[in-house]
């Protein structure tokens, strides 16, 4: 191989990459958190709501999980303006990722709802707790503990694979930023080597953060690796 | 007027009717025991009282007022006055012992947290579990969990306490502790309905015994009458077996 790496080009623009990484992290954290809320409502509906509501939620989940995230975001960015709705590229990625995460998390969290001991829910009921209170105090801690690893994995998926979809509609997250910069001086290999490492560092930090959060908040004895 | 009156209640699981008309009264401050073979419907009676298993006909009255189990508000009011301790101690697995006890008083009744915690520690002391206040249910033995469940029910300040087989998982010495606690509660005017297989416990603590078989009340009366001179064959048969064993 005769290629000579010239990393100093990358270092000169490292600030821009850091900004991209920061945006990636923000997109990932926001889409995941908002997706968790949607997923919680969706899973609660699938478990407790009347049939028409369950069908509606199921329809949403089936539609979203069976179409590519890229298409969904294209639809928001290029399709909605036809109907007079115009969002910025960042908003489209954010909303698209959030809906996407919400659909997947509905199914992930539903497994958690199903595994709550019905006897605990009955005990809560006889103690006068309302359904939202039972969800808040019995189901959520149970889910957080029992499927915490699945949730943490899903966060990494969004952080790495989900957010990079933004690049195709010009959002300057980490991948987008790398494409922008390397188009200027053709140092693709250098940029993408560094960016790959930055993703690794990002997921590393996120994993540690999640493991610590799990231990502190939910008594999850999660291993970091 | 009885504190709790159960009038000819029927109840079903799905299509299967398991209570075929149950009648009995519990006076204020009285301890009544439900006894009978496994599967006779004792737990179902308690579940019906707190609105977990729907009653298909008949009525349940507290202080002479019929509870309308189809009205959520009335069910809430009934649950406010009756607390149940389940056969399988249904503690919240994701909370420590003290939090199990304080959750409903703080979140449902909106009482002051500090005050509830202090009272919770007193209740845990009453059942001999104050030293485990910070432990989680999966770190406790069955008997210990059962005692926490009793403390949790008492923290709701019920007028009527429903206890389903609370001594079955306990060591003999712990049975005495719980017995003491129950006696103390009775002397303080707590109305109690107890399901138990422990006949010596039943005889000692209750003022009335209701013998059930196959979803019906076969015989009811004061403990000595029921235990020493059962009138029905089924009761004689049952007590013959359990008292000998
Ligand atoms: N969830 C359920 N679904 C269907 N049938 C049930 C259910 N729970 C109880 N049963 C049936 O209802 C009848 C009464 O049950 P119940 O639990 O009230 O009996 P029990 O007197 O409390 O018995 P044990 O002494 O074993 O606790 C039994 O025939 C039982 O099989
Ligand atoms: Mg039972």
Check residue A7 and give its pLDDT.
78
Domains, chain A, in order of start with CATH, read 8-218 (1.10.3720.10)
Query: Using CA atoms, how far apart are residues B69 and B207, in angstroms rounded to an integer?
Result: 28
How does pLDDT run across B37-49, given as a tens digit for each residue? 999 999 999 999 9
Print pLDDT tens along chain A (225 aa).
677 777 787 788 888 888 988 999 999 999 999 999 999 999 999 999 999 999 999 999 999 999 988 898 989 998 888 898 888 888 888 999 999 999 999 999 998 888 888 889 999 999 999 999 999 999 988 888 888 888 888 999 888 888 888 888 878 888 888 888 888 878 788 888 888 898 999 999 888 888 888 777 776 665 554
- Contact list in B for residue A147 (CB cut-off 8 A) is none
Check residue B244 and give its pLDDT.
62
- Contact list in B for residue A126 (CB cut-off 8 A) is 50-52, 79, 83-84
Domains, chain B, in order of start with CATH, read 4-91+158-235 (3.40.50.300)
Could you give phi then psi for residue B66, rounded to 5 degrees? -70, 135
How does pLDDT run across B51-97, given as a tens digit for each residue? 999 999 999 999 988 999 888 888 998 999 999 998 887 899 989 99
Query: Using CA atoms, how far apart are residues A42 and A53, in angstroms rounded to an integer?
Result: 10
- Starting from the CA of residue B36, give the closest ligand: 1
Give the closest-approach CA distance of A118 to chain B in angstroms. 9
Q: Which residue of A has its CA nearest to B157?
A: A127
């Amino acid at each position: 191989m005769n290629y000579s790496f010239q990393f100093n080009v990358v270092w000169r623009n490292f600030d821009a990459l850091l900004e991209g990484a920061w945006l990636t992290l923000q997109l990932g954290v926001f889409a995941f958190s908002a997706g968790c809320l949607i997923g919680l409502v969706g899973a609660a509906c699938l478990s407790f709501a009347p049939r028409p509501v369950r069908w509606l939620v199921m329809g949403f989940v089936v539609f979203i999980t069976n179409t590519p995230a890229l298409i969904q975001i294209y639809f928001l960015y290029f399709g909605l303006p036809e109907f007079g709705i115009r969002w910025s590229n960042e908003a489209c990625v954010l909303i698209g990722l959030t809906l996407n995460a919400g659909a997947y998390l509905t199914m992930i969290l539903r497994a958690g709802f199903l595994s709550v001991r019905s006897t605990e829910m009955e005990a809560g009921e006889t103690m006068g707790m309302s359904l939202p209170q039972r969800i808040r105090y019995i189901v959520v801690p149970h889910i957080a503990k029992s499927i915490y690893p699945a949730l943490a994995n899903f966060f990494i998926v969004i952080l790495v694979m989900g957010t990079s979809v933004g690049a195709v509609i010009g959002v300057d997250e980490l991948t987008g930023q790398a494409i922008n910069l390397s188009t200027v001086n053709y140092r693709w290999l250098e940029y993408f080597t560094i960016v790959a490492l930055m993703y690794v560092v990002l997921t590393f930090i996120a994993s540690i953060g999640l493991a610590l959060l799990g231990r502190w908040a939910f008594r999850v004895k999660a291993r970091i690796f | 007027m009885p504190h709790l009156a159960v009038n000819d209640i029927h109840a079903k699981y799905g299509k299967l009717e398991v209570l075929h008309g149950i009648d009995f009264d519990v006076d204020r401050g009285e301890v009544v025991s439900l006894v009978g073979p496994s599967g006779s419907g004792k737990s179902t009676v308690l579940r019906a009282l707190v609105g977990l298993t729907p009653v298909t006909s008949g009525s349940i009255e507290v202080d002479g007022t019929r509870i309308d189990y189809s009205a959520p508000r009335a069910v809430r009011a009934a649950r406010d006055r009756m607390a149940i301790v389940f056969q399988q101690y249904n503690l919240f697995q994701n909370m420590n012992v003290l939090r199990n006890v304080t959750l409903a008083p703080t979140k449902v009744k909106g009482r002051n947290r500090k005050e509830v915690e202090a009272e919770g520690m007193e209740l845990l002391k009453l059942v001999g579990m104050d030293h485990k206040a910070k432990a989680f249910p999966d770190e406790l033995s069955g008997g210990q969990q059962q005692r926490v469940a009793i403390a949790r029910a008492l923290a709701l300040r019920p007028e009527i306490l429903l206890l389903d087989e609370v001594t079955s998982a306990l060591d003999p010495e712990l049975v005495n502790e719980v017995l003491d606690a129950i006696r103390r509660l009775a002397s303080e005017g707590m109305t109690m309905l107890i399901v138990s297989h422990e006949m010596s416990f039943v005889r000692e603590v209750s003022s009335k015994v209701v013998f059930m078989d196959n979803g019906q009340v076969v015989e009811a009366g004061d403990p000595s009458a029921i235990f020493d001179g059962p009138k029905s064959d089924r009761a004689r048969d049952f007590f013959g077996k359990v008292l000998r064993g």
